[in-house]
Amino acid sequence: MSRMNLLNAPGQQVEGFCLVKSAAVRTDSKGGTYMDMVLADAGGECVGKIWNYVPSMGLYEPEDVIKVRGTITVWKDSEQLRIERIRQATEADGVDMSQIVPCSPLDPKAAYEYLWQETEGFRDQDLKRLVQYIMKEHKSEMLYYPAAVKLHHATRGGFLEHTTNLVRMGKVVARHYPQLDGELIIAGAILHDIGKLGELATGKLGIATAYTPEGQLLGHINMGMAEVRAAAELLQVPEQTSVLLQHMLLSHHGQPEFGSPKLPMFPEAEVLSTLDRLDAQLFEMFAALEGVQAGGFSERQWALDNRQLYQHGRK
């Protein structure tokens, strides 16, 4: 089984895969050693104990995905798992990561291939070379990175989900307004958050826990601009193409208070900025309304101007 319900009743035996949040070897009152762990899966978390622990049972660290078998017990009114068998998960186990950590619903390989195919159709070969070069350079990170530490798309694969949403919406807008350069919108959408791959301190499970020193000091907008500029120089992409893309990255947060030193100064940049905000806001709204009964209101959402959201129940 790929998911272990850590919230079973006392006395029940559980078996499955879960995530190690913390692990430490301790000494009990009789001088014996045990491993004290906090385990989690998509259903919740609990304390786990390996009694009479010896090193041959294995060493475990935060972010390890493991398979355990044990029994739920109660100690001082709190449930905990008495671990009887434990091992590291392997690739052969085929663990469904969506049962372990919050994951994007999109298949990452399919999403990456979709974005690649969109660039394959570019008439502007310089734009195609530039975007595909950066995509190839970051393919491994793109397949699992989140889009944030908190808030919108802060899930495994959230970076690709957010990027794919913008590309799809951008194509619709470009079809409606033939004055727009659809290729420029797609290129900007694919690259607009590329700096986050260096900004977010992300573990192997695809969850960002903090910002890197470069991320704190420079921010993803500046980091992304620098990467586009460097790649364009390396590939000898025309200066105008490079500058247009750099401006789209520079202005995609729209307002100075949200991190953009410049407002969007041409239509495609405006489209990117508007769609970026729309996708982020809708993600937060959908999350806030999850579980709210029809006719009810959510808690106040500080990320949405402290609004309470109404669940109208229509679809």
pLDDT band at 3; cut points 50, 70, 90: very low
CATH architecture for segment(s) 102-289: Orthogonal Bundle (1.10)
User: Distance from first CA to last CA of the chain, Å, rounded?
Assistant: 34
Same CATH topology for 13-93 and 102-289?
no
pLDDT band at 144; cut points 50, 70, 90: very high
CATH architecture for segment(s) 13-93: Beta Barrel (2.40)
- Rounded Cα distance between 128 and 91, Å, is 35
Q: What is the pLDDT of residues 13-40, one digit of tens each?
A: 889 999 898 899 999 888 899 999 988 8
Q: What is the pLDDT of residues 118-138, one digit of tens each?
A: 999 999 999 999 999 999 999
Beta bridge partners of 20: 39
- Rounded Cα distance between 191 and 215, Å, is 17
Report phi then psi at 178, rounded to 5: -65, -15
DSSP state of 294: T
**Nearest residue to 148 via CA among 197, 189, 192:** 197
Domain segments of the chain: what residues? 13-93, 102-289
- Rounded Cα distance between 273 and 135, Å, is 21
Rounded average pLDDT over 189-218:
92
Write out 233-252 in H/E/C secondary structure: HHHCCCHHHHHHHHHHHHHC
State percent of the chain over pLDDT 70: 95
Q: Is the pLDDT of residue 2 over 50?
A: no
**Residue 61, helix vs strand vs coil:** coil
Q: At what angle do helices 108-120 and 125-137 cross, to 10 degrees?
A: 160
Q: Is the pLDDT of residue 1 over 50?
A: no
Q: Is the pLDDT of residue 83 over 90?
A: yes
